[in-house]
């Protein structure tokens, strides 16, 4: 069995992918707020709404893409899937 060497790659978020993510986040279907205290039955709905709003409207995807690409990124086939890893040195 031959083994492939890891291959370098860059993280690249396409404009279409980011548009699609924003649209899906905008369509989030929220459950009713349970009668218990927030976090008593799972994640706080208010917290999750704030988090989704942040990811949709304020998270700087391009800045994070640039930051992550400062590290060497590698891809290697392992067990039938492409395993992605970063070299942090």
pLDDT higher than threshold 60 for residue 23 = yes
Percent residues over pLDDT 90 in the chain: 64
Domain range list for the chain: 7-28+41-87
**DSSP code, position 57:** I
Assign 70 to helix, strand or coil: coil
83's enclosing H/E stretch is: strand 81-87
Q: In what order do the strands lie in the sheet with 7-9?
A: 7-9, 72-78, 81-87
Q: What pLDDT shows up at residue 3? A: 67
pLDDT digits (tens, 9 = 90+) for 24-69: 999 999 999 989 998 998 999 999 999 999 999 999 999 999 999 9
Q: What pLDDT shows up at residue 78? A: 87
Instruction: Say what the pTM is.
Output: 0.74
Closest CA to 72 of 56, 89, 58: 89
Q: Is the dihedral of CA 33, 39, 44, 47 positive or negative?
A: positive
């Amino acid at each position: 069995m031959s083994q492939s060497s890891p291959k370098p790659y860059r993280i690249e978020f396409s404009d279409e992918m980011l548009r699609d993510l924003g649209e899906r986040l905008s369509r989030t279907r929220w459950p009713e707020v349970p009668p218990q205290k927030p976090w008593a039955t799972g994640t706080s709905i208010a917290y999750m709404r704030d988090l989704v709003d942040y990811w949709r409207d304020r998270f700087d995807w391009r800045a994070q893409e640039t930051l992550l690409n400062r590290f060497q990124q590698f891809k290697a086939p392992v067990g039938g899937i492409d395993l992605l890893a970063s070299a942090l040195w």
